[in-house]
Structure 1
């Protein structure tokens, strides 16, 4: 009987030791399954309005910076550019004419003093300045027309992946209205939401380990890049009839809020393609806690 009690006691002690060890590991290395892969998503937006006449990429394909994604009908913008060139030349000719008239009047005044009144000379000088201003305006309009013509080719602003591209040849696009999403391939990170009670002594540059649900056999290394400074409040927000929403709570329960922590991955294997929205588990290693305990 005594032997049975001793064996039971040993099992209880061993279980308590394991539980304590796991608890200490969790305290020193906070962990969460509430993580997601994130990246900067660029809304590719045309700067001019027109009909799509050419598409050079497929949906869910990779593009490099400067690649032409699609092209808008340039005919109208070519015409406007040619008109602007003509207006610019005409403005330059008017400048030359005004300067010639002014020079003629000035030379005539030098040869025959009093041949030109001061008012006439001032008017000719004003005509030159006005012609110069019109020439500058014509030059600006020509540059704008040239830019609009260049904008008919919509290019990728960075290396990345085209996604949710539903437009086709013949579709009408509107200036400053997004057409397709481009995911910046150099901006991927993992964002985990940790309980505020787990973030004590967690600092930037602490090492982290990430496991993706899609690749649960491979462990990815990273480090804490930043810790969020705020989250949206729920209590006090306006509800129906302009009354505040207040969530019911119990005095003996204090729910820990979840704070976003940004993890930058390092040396992602070639066989893993990160995708925005993928589920991830994250464990943070509190390096300074380990160092203090070793001292």
Structure 2
């Protein structure tokens, strides 16, 4: 074989070798990419939601919210007929006014009773003074009878005066007890006033509850009613999506979760617009799923299926990714998404 032929043959082998080297290089890049930036299309968009429920029952008289409408925090979502609750509030306030007037009148009566008791007590003190004086007179007079300085008649008069004064004292004391017992109070009425004030507070709160306002910026969904519908307390009327925070829940294989933790950077895009990329960070990693072939406990013993899996499928765990720059017009709950975890970036940032 000539040198030219050998050279020509060698030149023909170079493209094949180059292709093999390029393929090996691409394989290395792909493997490195899969190891440092795992990706999955088993993902969907998620946001927190609340059920909008009125806290009082009544007929809906105003419903500014519309299905799929964006609302701001504090916007009126629905209004329930406030007339029954306004009437209950007016009634409670009227009861309080009546009770206050009754307390004033009762207090006047109590003052009069107290004045009478004080007057009777003063009469008791006067009767006690008279009784003491009569007793002293009797004690001084009785020894003089034996000496002949006083007559028996004078002693009898002193004794009669002492008995009369003591009887008057006893009567005055009984009257004082009656007058003191007759003095009433307003404690019971004051306690009723506290109860009525509590009823007023509840009525004011119920009246406030007739207006349901948005607790945060969101979007109304699943609205299937209109003005005139009777709304029952604690029963949902529609759903409100919290559009302040959007997430992508991506189900990654357990073999791809090494080094993944809260704060790991990620990139996501939605199937509805594959040209746009959104950055985010891992919010949390799921710590439990229900395996498809998990054992079932029956009669105290686990039941394990006797099957042979020639190919073992890795379990997937949900990774919740908080999107940093969501487009509120593009993100919808349940939208299919693709998520990529940038574990290499996370390691670099930690260093």
Same fold flag (TM > 0.5): yes
Change in CA separation of 1:262 and 1:116 when aligned onto 2, cut-off 3 Å: same
Question: Could you tell me how far apart the structure 2 residues matched to 1:171 and 1:246 are?
Answer: 53
1:95 matched to 2:109? The reply is: no
> Which residue of the partner structure matches residue 282 of structure 1?
339
Residue 111 of structure 1 is matched in structure 2 by: 119
1:232 CA drift (Å): 3.2
TM-superposition CA deviations, 1:116-144 (whole Å, max 9, x none): 455444xx24xx22212211111111221
How far 1:244 moved relative to its partner?
7.7
What residue in structure 1 maps to residue 197 of structure 2?
139
2:76 match = 68
Name 1:256's counterpart in structure 2.
314
User: Residue 88 of structure 2 aligns with which residue?
Assistant: 80
Say if 1:61 and 1:89 are closer, same or farther in 2 by CA, change over 3 A: same
* Length-normalised TM-score, structure 1: 0.86
Between 1:64-73 and 1:230-239, the stretch displaced more is 230-239
User: In structure 2, what is the equivalent of residue 32 of structure 1?
Assistant: 40
Q: Structure 1 237/160 Cα, relative in aligned 2: closer, same or farther at 3 Å?
A: farther
CA contact (8 A) 1:105 1:116 kept: no
Range with greater deviation from structure 2 (183-192 or 96-105): 96-105
- Measure, in 1, the Cα distance between the counterparts of 2:103 and 2:243: 52
Return the alpha-carbon distance in structure 2 between the equivalents of residues 108 and 73 of structure 1. 55
Contact 1:35 1:279 in 2 (8 A): yes
Structure 1 or 2: more helix by fraction: 2
Paired positions, count: 287
Q: Distance in 2 between matches of 1:95 and 1:245?
A: 75
Assess, with a 3 A threshold, how the Cα gap between structure 1 residues 50 and 101 changes in structure 2: closer, same or farther. Answer: same
Among 148, 151, 163, which residue is 2:209 paired with? 151
Q: 1:121-132 counterparts in 2 under 5 A?
A: 121=183, 124-125=184-185, 128-132=186-190
Alignment match, 1:197:
255
CA distance, structure 2, for counterparts of residue 148 and residue 13 of structure 1? 77
**Gaps in structure 1 of 5+ consecutive residues:** none
Structure 2: how far apart are the matches of 1:98 and 1:196?
A: 79
Distance 1:167 1:205, change over 3 A: same
Bigger drift between 58-67 and 211-220 goes to 58-67
Ranges in structure 2 where 5+ consecutive residues have no aligned partner: 1-8, 122-175
Across the aligned residues of Structure 1 and Structure 2, the Cα RMSD in angstroms comes to 2.8
C-alpha separation between the residues in 1 aligned to 2:48 and 2:83? 34
User: Partners in 2 of 1:64 and 1:254 — Cα distance?
Assistant: 49
Q: Distance in 2 between matches of 1:151 and 1:250?
A: 60
1:273 and 2:320 aligned: no
SS in 2 for 1:27: helix
